Amino acid sequence: MTNRTFTMIKPDATQNGNTGGILEMINAAGFRIVAMKMTHLSETKAGEFYAVHKERPFFGELVTFMSRGAITAVILEKENAVEDFRKLIGATNPAQAEEGTIRKKYATSIGENAVHGSDSDENAAIEGDFFFSKLEQF
């Protein structure tokens, strides 16, 4: 089991000026940033990142949304990182997200939900390597 997870601050949060606020919540929860970059996903790259959802009815909408503006990709380190980070971000649908979670504070809908969080150690490693070379992971 690793102690790392991967997150993305999504285009809605970037456009709403919430990047700093989200990073502050992440730091306050005890995560250490070990890699970070602001970048942009093309439609092709967004589709590749979320390929697991390609048969879902919302896939087209998801790809359009994720490629419409800048994102910030971040690798985080903390004991029990994957599970603790999923708790910090809250439910996919902000209407169901608990008080004190990032999505409760910053998400606007089930699609535009401010942040991504890896769902397993294996995917955390795959997703981190999608954005960062080994030399960029500290």
Query: Any idea which residues carry the catalytic annotation?
Result: 116
Options 42, 54, 58, 96; binder of ligand ATP; rule CB under 6 A: 58
Strand, coil or helix: 31: coil
Question: Least distance in Å: CB of 118 to ligand ATP?
Answer: 7
61: contact with ligand ATP by CB under 6 A: yes
**Residue of 12, 9, 23 whose CA lies nearest to 108:** 12
Tokens of 72: 């910030």
> Which residue in 34, 62, 70, 125 binds ligand ATP (CB under 6 A)?
62
Which C-beta is closer to ligand ATP: that of 97 or that of 138? 97
- Shortest gap between Cβ of 115 and ligand ATP (angstroms)? 7
Q: Taking Cα atoms as reference points, which of 84, 120, 119 lies closest to residue 102?
A: 84
Contact between 114 and 11 under an 8 Å Cβ cutoff? The reply is: no
Q: How many residues does the chain have?
A: 138
**Stretch 72-131 residues interacting with ligand ATP (CB under 6 A):** 92, 110-111, 113, 116-117, 119
- Using CB atoms within 10 Å of the CB of residue 95, give its burial: 0 to 12 exposed, 13 to 18 middle, 19+ buried: exposed
Give the tokens for residue 88: 């910090």
| Comparison of 117 and 128: residue with beta carbon closer to ligand ATP | 117
Smallest distance from ligand ATP to CB 45, Å:
15
Binding stretches for ligand ATP (CB under 6 A): 53, 58, 61-62, 92, 110-111, 113, 116-117, 119
